[in-house]
Structure 1
Amino acid sequence: MIVMLVAAGLAVGASIVVPMVMQRVVDGPVRHHDPGGLIWFGLAALALGALEALMVFLRRWTQSYASLSMEADVRDELYGHMQKLPLTFHDRWQSGQLLSRAITDIGVIRRFLSFGVIYLIVNVCQYVVVVVLLIRLYWPLGTLVALSAVPLFLISRGFARRFLTVSRQVQDSQGDLATYVEESAHGIRVIKAFGRRHHMFTRFTANADRVYGLAVERARLDSRFAPLYELIPNLSLAVIVVVGAVAVVQDHLTLGQLVAFATLQMGLVWPVESLGWILATGQEAMTAADRIYDVFDTEPTVVDRPGAVDVDRASVTGAVRFEGVRFGYPEGDRDVLAGIDLDIAPGETMALVGVTGSGKTTLVSLVPRLYDVTGGRITLDGRDVREYTLDSLRRTVATAFEEPILFSMSVRENLALGRPDATDAELAEALRVAQAEFVYELPWGLDTRVGEQGLSLSGGQRQRLALARAVVSRPKVLVLDDPLSALDVNTEALVEEALARVLAGTTALLVVHRPSTVALADRVALLEDGRITAVGTHSELLATVPSYRAVLSATADEDEDLAGWADQLPEGRGVAAR
């Protein structure tokens, strides 16, 4: 910043000195017909011009480097902060709004800091210095130039207040539009399948028209005030030329002084004209900063406690216990989980069964602290999971979700996300367990990029890769949120057989929807209305708990209907992933 200001100050100083040299030229060599004096003054003007050009180059190079570095640092900080925020934050916020803040808003701030701030400081200093020089040259006209700052101040005040409101509306609407475009891109298969292209296009144009209308309103406001910033200095210049000429005739001014006065005044035209642009970019930067601080001001709630320790993977046994666990979402009016007590022994596989919306996914998400309990506690080997560092806990507890998320990277990178040092042999074993060996048939095998969200693969293939990713990390505790729901019956049987061997010695918590998946579990827990109402083996619960039979029979009937329909298909065809 110091280098930029010094360079800018020297450049402006050189531009101010040039009119003073012109005064000496006109009142000296020109007036006295001295050609030799003209040469020396010409060389001086040339040297000042070269100095100004050099300082402008130095200032622009320095400010570009500094502003781009600042932009990168702020973007890194913002992304890192978003990674720390709890899932409850991301559940509420639109991804397009976050994208708009991380890309567009930070760019707006960078442009203002790299140009707007520097020009504002330099132009104000230039204005003050030039006005002082003008008053010294001829105080009546100098005072007139100084007083012209009053209407400029009043115009700027009204412009800034109105532009701030419109600018915020434009940036918010751009975030909404980005969200809509992102959702449409991800849901393009659904849009095409239902033939709703024209409907979605109509909704898009409505969002785009709102952005357009607000942007036009902002441009209209800018164009309404911009001519005033040009009119005032030009009117002042006209008055100076007329009054100054009269003053020269009356010997109150020399011709050289008038030339210097007019040249200095013309040098103020750009600083005044740029004031509107500086104010506009400043208001945009203010609203951008407000939007960014909407994210920064949100405090992470799932964080390491003071004194948190790393999980010792070598000695951890994997005993998991839920003690009076309660949980409610911030925007909810009641607890999703209302007093969960459950013990899972080391190496045991526990299945969770319940109707849709009973809280199964929420319960298993509490183990790796994707959410934090609002009451009670969860322990790992007798110690509250909140007393472990998040990174070590999540390396110890691996999770595979029902809706698999794959990133736009290679198969290998997706598999090794939780364990970057995994060997090809370990990846191959995990793929075999998940029945995901189809990856070797892809064009570049493990190095094939799966595309955004893995949409180049089928739902069942994505789910098997997500399962392999959880297996390859060799967790002590494995959380599986119905990871087989998109698999056909035959593939599911093969995966379950391989998983049974993997789960031996690993504590596992399974969210189960299919009755066939219950076979993987040593015990089953029935979750109803946010409480564990029954725990036992599958056979025990089937014989003694009517509600357990009802939950499983509803799913079993659906599976039987699908199987019966598949039996009626021509030979060689079956039911694909559901």
Structure 2
Amino acid sequence: MGDFAGALWRAHRGLATAWWILVLAQAMLPAAFAYEVGSLIAAADKTGPLIGLGTVFLLMQILAPLHGQVSTNLGAHLSSRLQDRLITAATGPPGIAHLESAALTGELAVARDFDLGISGPPLALSMGLIAGSLVEALAGAGQAILLATWHWWAGALLGTAWLATHWLLRDAARWSRDTPEVRYAQRRAEYTYRLAVDPPAGKEIRLFGLSDWTVRQFVHNRQKLVDLRWQATKLRQRGLGVTLAVLTVANGLVFWTLATDATALGVKATFAQAAIGTAALAFGGLNWALPPAIEAVKAADRLDRSMAEVGALPCGSRIPSGTALRFRHVRFSYPNADKPVLDGLDLDIPAGTSLAVVGVNGAGKTTLVKLICRLYDPTAGTVEADGVDLKTLDLTSWRGNVTAVFQDFIRYQLPLKDNVAPTGASEEDIRAALAATDAEFADLDTVLSKGYDGGTDLSGGQWQRVALARALAAVKQGAGIVVLDEPTAQLDIKGETEAFTRFLQHTKGCTTILVSHRFGTVRQADRICVLDNGKVAELGSHDELMAANGKYRTMFDLQAARFQHD
């Protein structure tokens, strides 16, 4: 509870202060109402008690909706802060291991549930429920105190009896969301939710008639969450029976004493209401509304630490001085993988040269790209730039020296100019980068998404030209190493060959690494590296490798034969 209260304070101090003040104020009103009712019955002159009763009643009507508005706003601020923390946790670490960790991805899905509302209400709604539950619980305590002014033991007995329900029915509040089953069910529910509401899957869902299937998948996964919670929190018959017995004895004794007491009717009315109101201390809404909110706060803290640890990379202070790359006995394994992706890789890439990397799927081509960009560090061995281990270089400076076009490059729903140069560049440089890829766009301010007024979408080939232009703009800004991972897969063969030829012309002097399956493009590189089983199987120019009649010749001939047949 302390962590949760601290999170509210950090989310918005003013709203948090108002929220707690309103909780306490509303909690005192039921006891005040009971007192005023008793005073009204007992008083000969009803004017004063009526004014008091009316004032309390009016405050009860005003403070409740006011508290609801404060709760909604505070919940929205808390939700925003937690989302900020989760985004920071995901984007902050210099590496990407935490984003490719199945365990952390599942935990992130659970942590984000507080805002998605898949298995429970979002925080903007939950805060109102929590406020109501706290008010009830504190109001119950207040009325137990009022009852104790009549007989101390009565207030203590009823207060203890109703509080005991929290312990006697503790099984009903015991639900751990931090389990593999819950994380998996939550992740699947979120995935099918995204399938339904995000555009990328929209075409296939409609084309293949998957609308009902998608809804069934989501309902099934969400129902799994409900079932898990029910199995963990269902009431035990033994606990329920003991609870009913304790409450029957405690309430029976207090009300029997009250009924036989010789006090005045007004006094009896006051304490009868207080005895009834003490029931607000019982097991109830606080037990189901508060724990998920507390868990959301804890999850943000937990992910902040765990993602920072898993995604951490050592960072030196040396400034990179060149673009020659060398892999020395590099071995790399992804977490929980059965075998290494790279196993004893040795490779030299002289500065200012172009190298094409080919190999079958799973040979380690994309992993090689990740190591050059220093998104991961080798499990063993070193990656060097001009003889210096990348780990000793300043990471920001190194990445400023590298630009890349990834196979799964991002299509930003932003203006064209921001797609080409997200961190800013002159209009002249942006247009030059687009021209170098033979891309024809008139308005740099056009948003590349049809979801915005005046926006437009691009074909796959046009998007790839934009991604190439993004890399060229980075070269213009000082990048000396260019990495291309299947950069033109959506262009036709002629378009790809022409695009890569122009790209090499505009990146002359840069060290260029190209990963591609198309040998018509690959053969333009100065040298070609064939990866096999995590090692360099062949290395040389196109003519040298063709003459060697090895793996490269076999792959080239197979592809060439297919095109000749076509």
Quickly name the TM-score band, shorter chain normalised.
0.7 to 0.9
Give the deviation of 1:149 after TM superposition.
1.9
Distance 2:184 2:245 in 1: 33
Distance 1:176 1:213 in 2: 10
Distance 2:22 2:296 in 1: 28
Contact persistence 1:75–1:106 (CA under 8 A): no
**Structure 1 pair 486–282 and aligned structure 2 pair: CA distance change class (3 A):** same
SS in 1 for 2:482: strand
Letter in 2 for 1:149: W
SS in 2 for 1:148: helix
Contact persistence 1:171–1:288 (CA under 8 A): no
Contact persistence 2:528–2:540 (CA under 8 A): yes
Aligned pairs for 1:493-508 (under 5 A) are 493-508=497-512
**Structure 1 pair 182–133 and aligned structure 2 pair: CA distance change class (3 A):** closer
Question: Residue 544 of structure 2 aligns with which residue?
Answer: 540
**Structure 1 pair 173–293 and aligned structure 2 pair: CA distance change class (3 A):** farther
SS in 2 for 1:366: helix
Letter in 2 for 1:522: D
Question: Residue 366 of structure 1 aligns with which residue?
Answer: 371
1:27 counterpart (42, 55, 66): 42
Letter in 1 for 2:146: L
1:187-242 CA-partner distances (Å, limit 9, x unpaired): 4545666x4x35x74465144234236537868998979x9999998998898667
1:51-99 CA-partner distances (Å, limit 9, x unpaired): 6666657755555444432221211111111124544443344979745
Contact persistence 1:410–1:446 (CA under 8 A): yes
Question: Residue 147 of structure 2 aligns with which residue?
Answer: 134
Letter in 2 for 1:82: A
**Structure 1 pair 91–305 and aligned structure 2 pair: CA distance change class (3 A):** closer
1:39 counterpart (23, 38, 47): 47
Say whether residues 1:262 and 2:279 are aligned partners: no
Contact persistence 2:107–2:178 (CA under 8 A): no
Question: Residue 173 of structure 2 aligns with which residue?
Answer: 160
1:293-346 CA-partner distances (Å, limit 9, x unpaired): 6744344444453553565xxxx4322222222211112222211222222222
Distance 2:417 2:106 in 1: 28
Question: Residue 447 of structure 2 aligns with which residue?
Answer: 448
**Structure 1 pair 128–462 and aligned structure 2 pair: CA distance change class (3 A):** same
1:374-403 CA-partner distances (Å, limit 9, x unpaired): 112222233322233443332321111234
Give the deviation of 1:167 after TM superposition.
11
Contact persistence 1:168–1:284 (CA under 8 A): no
Aligned pairs for 1:4-403 (under 5 A) are 4-29=19-44, 35=45, 38-49=46-57, 63-84=71-92, 86-93=95-102, 98=108, 101-102=111-112, 104=114, 110=123, 114-115=127-128, 118=131, 122-138=135-151, 142=155, 145-146=158-159, 148-149=161-162, 152-161=165-174, 164=176, 173-183=185-195, 186-190=200-204, 195=208, 197-198=209-210, 201-202=212-213, 204-212=215-223, 214-215=225-226, 244-247=258-261, 252-270=262-280, 272=282, 275-285=283-293, 288=296, 295-296=303-304, 297-303=306-312, 305=314, 307-308=316-317, 316-403=321-408
Contact persistence 1:138–1:253 (CA under 8 A): no
Letter in 2 for 1:280: W
1:436-462 CA-partner distances (Å, limit 9, x unpaired): 22x44xxx665132359x994333222
Contact persistence 1:326–1:374 (CA under 8 A): yes
**Structure 1 pair 45–399 and aligned structure 2 pair: CA distance change class (3 A):** same
Distance 1:236 1:295 in 2: 46
Give the deviation of 1:426 after TM superposition.
1.7
Range 343-352 or range 389-398, more displaced: 389-398
Contact persistence 1:63–1:114 (CA under 8 A): yes
Contact persistence 1:96–1:182 (CA under 8 A): no
Contact persistence 2:323–2:480 (CA under 8 A): yes
Aligned residue pairs, count: 534
Range 12-21 or range 336-345, more displaced: 12-21
Larger Rg: 1
Distance 1:379 1:51 in 2: 72
**Structure 1 pair 18–192 and aligned structure 2 pair: CA distance change class (3 A):** closer
Distance 2:444 2:378 in 1: 42
- 5+ residue gaps, structure 2: 1-15
Letter in 1 for 2:347: L
Distance 1:263 1:337 in 2: 75
Question: Residue 575 of structure 1 aligns with which residue?
Answer: none
Aligned pairs for 1:399-414 (under 5 A) are 399-414=404-419
Distance 1:434 1:180 in 2: 37
Question: Residue 422 of structure 1 aligns with which residue?
Answer: 425
**Structure 1 pair 230–295 and aligned structure 2 pair: CA distance change class (3 A):** same
Question: Residue 576 of structure 1 aligns with which residue?
Answer: none
Share of identical aligned residues, percent? 23
Question: Residue 572 of structure 1 aligns with which residue?
Answer: none
Give the deviation of 1:554 after TM superposition.
2.3
Give the deviation of 1:467 after TM superposition.
1.5
Say whether residues 1:480 and 2:480 are aligned partners: no
**Structure 1 pair 115–232 and aligned structure 2 pair: CA distance change class (3 A):** farther
Range 47-56 or range 257-266, more displaced: 47-56
SS in 2 for 1:173: helix
Range 276-285 or range 103-112, more displaced: 103-112
Contact persistence 2:315–2:391 (CA under 8 A): no
Distance 1:265 1:132 in 2: 10
2:514 counterpart (502, 510, 513): 510
Distance 1:11 1:204 in 2: 42
Distance 1:327 1:220 in 2: 42
SS in 1 for 2:458: coil
Distance 2:178 2:484 in 1: 48
Contact persistence 1:11–1:53 (CA under 8 A): no
Letter in 2 for 1:450: S
**Structure 1 pair 557–87 and aligned structure 2 pair: CA distance change class (3 A):** farther
Question: Residue 8 of structure 2 aligns with which residue?
Answer: none
Distance 2:111 2:485 in 1: 32
Aligned pairs for 1:549-568 (under 5 A) are 549-561=553-565, 565=566
Distance 1:217 1:376 in 2: 46
Distance 2:412 2:176 in 1: 38
SS in 1 for 2:284: helix
Contact persistence 1:402–1:463 (CA under 8 A): no
Contact persistence 1:96–1:177 (CA under 8 A): no
SS in 1 for 2:42: helix
SS in 1 for 2:547: helix
